[in-house]
Structure 1
Amino acid sequence: MDELDVWRTLPVKQQPNWPDPAELTAARDRLAALPPLVTAPEIRVLTERLGSVARGEAFLLQGGDCAETFAANTADKIRDKVKTLLQMAVVLTYGASVPVVKVARIAGQYAKPRSADIEASTGLPSYRGDAVNDIAATAVARRPDPGRLVDAYHASAVALNLVRSFATGGFADLSKVHEWNKTFVRDSAAGRRYEIMATDIERALSFMAACGIDLERTSNLHGVELFTSHEALLLDYERALTRTEDATGAVYDVSAHMLWIGERTRDLDGAHVDLMSRVGNPIGCKVGPNASPDDVLALVDRLDPEHIPGRFTVITRMGAGRVREVLPAIVEKVNSAGHPVVWSCDPMHGNTRDVNGVKTRHFDDVLDEVFGFFEVHRSLGTHPGGVHIELTGDNVTECLGGGEQIGEADLAGRYETACDPRLNTGQALELAFLVAERLQQGSPRLAPTGDRQVGR
């Protein structure tokens, strides 16, 4: 047996109940014959960039849709997601005074884990993302269809082509992105709080221009590096897109630059960890509040045995009420073993709440977990390496609070997510400005909630 197929002999979770094995085999064969979506040299560049994050020389911004859909794979929606990420990155770069590594949840995030195979409200198979079945509540739509794995590949190729164009074709020009942020500051009630920082960024750009730097012709100001990522959930898809580089003999999953393992599939002896341990991509792993320090260290040992800076990212998702309590022992345990990991905070998944049967999150909880993450790392003298955010470039009403003061009655206005609630553009930019302020202050202390004046 090929060592890349050992995972097939191991316990595996969150895989669809494919009804026709022959259809699955045909889909795997078609995927295996298709060109790579990303290249090995690009993957190695991202590992180097994440190595800088692990050393405290850069900051990671990872964000995008909870679950991409084929219907939303349009030029406008891809553009707006990229635009939001770029706007956040400019603000964070200024606040952190270090480069920001930009990794989008895009061009592959077409599958989602579910709590149950059968949806309680309909009695139908659960919607597992467009790579598996359709969200429509009918028996035909919910039938897992392996042909959708191939559809997901082609949708990813289309999105990636446009993302590359946006990243390098002038859309990401620093001056242009700053103008977008100035519009946010000017026109948004939330944004007016950040006029001082926006003015400071304006002065920095003017200073560079006065020094003779042509912002439109300087490559790293006119374009950006923008990498792709998704959860390595559907192992038949990931295995079919795992290739050996001819020049080096190294093995990479060429479906994305970075993959991560979810909280529900991170079993040390499970199939997901085994397959991801055998590829050379940067790998992340979501870690919730029930993970012990020994659990996390065992995962890091398994997935980063050679202690390569940038190879492994610990993505903590503790919840605002647990992060200060649980995270310190985990950080101390991993760091004492000498692993140069990236520490990143996912403040979304630990803060989900139910409001009258609607899944949502509150902006204040998201912000509080990020600040708690910073507090822990500052108290330990370690680097709070990044944030991992579910966001959209649309003005949806899926998360409560923020400067727009979205309330429970507003949730029905534009609740469009295919799975989990996302920050809208205004909330995402507000989060970036607040995190940038915290990065500038370098303070591990939080003001009392009543004094924080979020969004004012």
Structure 2
Amino acid sequence: MSNELDIWRTLPARQQPSWPDPEELAAAFAELSGLPPLVTAPEVRSLTDRLAMVARGEAFLLQGGDCAETFAANTADKIRDKVKTLLQMAVALTYGASTPVVKVARIAGQYAKPRSADIEASTGLPSYRGDAVNDIAATPQARRPDPKRMVAAYHQSAVALNLVRAFATGGFADLSKVHEWNKAFVRDSAAGRRYELMAVDIERALAFMAACGIDLDRTAALTGVEMFTSHEGLLMEYERALTRTEESTGEVYDLSAHMIWIGERTRDLGGAHVEFLSRVGNPIGCKIGPSATPDEVVELTERLNPDHIPGRLTLIARMGAKRVRDVLPAIIDKVNAAGHPVVWSCDPMHGNTRDVGGIKTRHFDDVLDEVFGFFQVHQGLGTHPGGLHIELTGENVTECLGGAEQIGEADLGGRYETACDPRLNTGQALELAFLVAEMLQQTRADRNSHHR
């Protein structure tokens, strides 16, 4: 099996750092290969089962977190606030969908980023490729790719994962507590007032359960949640080093995270990323941009999920607000006609990036419009709009324009802290979640009316 897992080494591997010292790389690979896995095979299989529910239209996927994690920002407070934002979004979405929400964080491993050029035009230095590769400081030494940083990324991921597990199960994720946070958002924010009725309905539901004798403080499903981890499987040496064969089953899993996705820039059928990730048992995501053809996407689904396992493959559409309604329907039709049980998810971030005075940003209206378009396409085809894939933070940064807070171009410099692409701040992320909850309610109402 190890020979098959290394076929990727004979293929073009895009977006890999130019590691300057092969011996350093071999030493880092050997060290990572001997370290314990970050997640377990049963957890990975559990996520596949949850995503199979999404593929069948019985659940909704929420995937979110930083564009690029950094070692410096890997603190308890920042991790807590990201988890808190995801939990709040999930409660709103659960209410809207009346189905379970599968929670997958972009966390504990999102330390590498693809770049459009090897050399940064403004400095003439090697591009910053994420903390797992080099440092963002603009000096030749800082930008030198260092394989030891992959080992550091592993240890940083272990710290983050430990906290995520603790927050998910240690009472922090208690439904009553999360609802109180959402009530504060509804009460205190410009966006929130629109959702008072939703908050009141959730309050009634909690009161009804308590009246029926359900102990809200002692029911495991209400006091803790499952939260899975994910990142882009970009650095081939890192992913290969953390791949393990389960002794009891002989199954192979990439145990750096529960879910791994392939980016728009690395999804070529003849490339190393598709080849390698086709051989691991994890749930796999694949970003699909506006240049993708229906035939190409069907080929990708055949390569990545030849056995048609529900929950194995999530296709993450990142079309841009102006293209999603035109491009996506033919792709969905072709994949469905081929009988592939995929999860359809919407990434409304990456197709809507713009430059304002040299600052990379996104407008909340464009993000929302792409999500609307995604839902409209699925409504027209009678298919399940299965998920959201969002770059967000749990802080009040000013990186994306618009939203109820009306962040303007002049505000971008206030708290622009991302290591890569602009993220929705916590208020914008919650506003989006409540708007999507309304869309899910409408989708459910339409489906019920068709069944009458």
Shorter-chain TM-score bucket reads over 0.9
Q: Does 1:180 align with 2:186?
A: no
Q: What is the deviation of 1:202?
A: 0.8
Helix, strand or coil for the counterpart of 1:246?
A: coil
In structure 2, what is the equivalent of residue 292 of structure 1?
A: 293
Helix, strand or coil for the counterpart of 1:353?
A: strand
In structure 1, what is the equivalent of residue 33 of structure 2?
A: 32
Larger deviation: 234-243 or 205-214? 205-214
Aligned length: 445
User: What is the rounded CA distance, in whole Å, between the counterparts of 2:212 and 2:441 in structure 1?
Assistant: 25
Q: Does 1:64 align with 2:53?
A: no
User: What is the rounded CA distance, in whole Å, between the counterparts of 1:157 and 1:11 in structure 2?
Assistant: 30
- What stretches of structure 2 of length at least 5 have no aligned partner? 447-452
Q: 5 Å matches for 1:108-147?
A: 108-147=109-148
Helix, strand or coil for the counterpart of 1:159?
A: helix
Q: What is the deviation of 1:193?
A: 1.2
Q: What is the deviation of 1:441?
A: 1.6
Helix, strand or coil for the counterpart of 1:255?
A: coil
Q: What is the deviation of 1:72?
A: 0.3
In structure 2, what is the equivalent of residue 19 of structure 1?
A: 20
Contact 1:374 1:444 in 2 (8 A): no
Distance 1:191-1:30 versus aligned 2 partners, 3 A rule: same
User: What is the rounded CA distance, in whole Å, between the counterparts of 2:154 and 2:338 in structure 1?
Assistant: 38
In structure 1, what is the equivalent of residue 245 of structure 2?
A: 244
Q: 5 Å matches for 1:235-384?
A: 235-384=236-385
User: What is the rounded CA distance, in whole Å, between the counterparts of 1:198 and 1:421 in structure 2?
Assistant: 29
For 1:277, give the aligned amino acid: S
Deviations 1:63-114 (A, max 9, x none): 0000000000000000000000000000000000000000000000000000
In structure 2, what is the equivalent of residue 428 of structure 1?
A: 429
Contact 1:378 1:444 in 2 (8 A): no
Q: What is the deviation of 1:444?
A: 11
Deviations 1:290-325 (A, max 9, x none): 000001000000000000000000000000000000
Helix, strand or coil for the counterpart of 1:268?
A: coil
Deviations 1:411-441 (A, max 9, x none): 0000000000000000000000000011112
User: What is the rounded CA distance, in whole Å, between the counterparts of 1:357 and 1:202 in structure 2?
Assistant: 45
Deviations 1:117-167 (A, max 9, x none): 000000000000000000011111100000000000000000000000000
Q: What is the deviation of 1:346?
A: 0.2
Contact 1:309 1:341 in 2 (8 A): yes
Contact 1:378 1:443 in 2 (8 A): no
Distance 1:96-1:34 versus aligned 2 partners, 3 A rule: same
Q: What is the deviation of 1:192?
A: 1.0
For 1:333, give the aligned amino acid: K
User: What is the rounded CA distance, in whole Å, between the counterparts of 1:15 and 1:161 in structure 2?
Assistant: 28
In structure 2, what is the equivalent of residue 394 of structure 1?
A: 395
In structure 2, what is the equivalent of residue 449 of structure 1?
A: none
User: What is the rounded CA distance, in whole Å, between the counterparts of 2:445 and 2:13 in structure 1?
Assistant: 40
User: What is the rounded CA distance, in whole Å, between the counterparts of 1:352 and 1:206 in structure 2?
Assistant: 43
Moved over 4 A (4+): none
Q: What is the deviation of 1:57?
A: 0.2
Contact 2:97 2:444 in 1 (8 A): no
Helix, strand or coil for the counterpart of 1:145?
A: coil
TM-score by structure 1 length?
Answer: 0.97
Q: Tell me how large the CA RMSD over aligned residues is.
A: 1.0
User: What is the rounded CA distance, in whole Å, between the counterparts of 1:313 and 1:439 in structure 2?
Assistant: 19
In percent, how many aligned pairs have the same letter? 82
TM-score by structure 2 length?
Answer: 0.98
For 2:85, give the aligned amino acid: T
Helix, strand or coil for the counterpart of 2:90?
A: helix
Deviations 1:368-421 (A, max 9, x none): 100100000111011000000000001000000001000000000000000000
Contact 1:354 1:360 in 2 (8 A): yes
In structure 1, what is the equivalent of residue 210 of structure 2?
A: 209
For 2:170, give the aligned amino acid: G
Helix, strand or coil for the counterpart of 1:260?
A: strand
User: What is the rounded CA distance, in whole Å, between the counterparts of 2:34 and 2:291 in structure 1?
Assistant: 41
Q: What is the deviation of 1:443?
A: 8.2
In structure 1, what is the equivalent of residue 410 of structure 2?
A: 409
In structure 2, what is the equivalent of residue 454 of structure 1?
A: none
Q: What is the deviation of 1:216?
A: 1.1
For 1:343, give the aligned amino acid: W
Contact 1:103 1:226 in 2 (8 A): yes
Q: What is the deviation of 1:176?
A: 0.2
In structure 2, what is the equivalent of residue 47 of structure 1?
A: 48
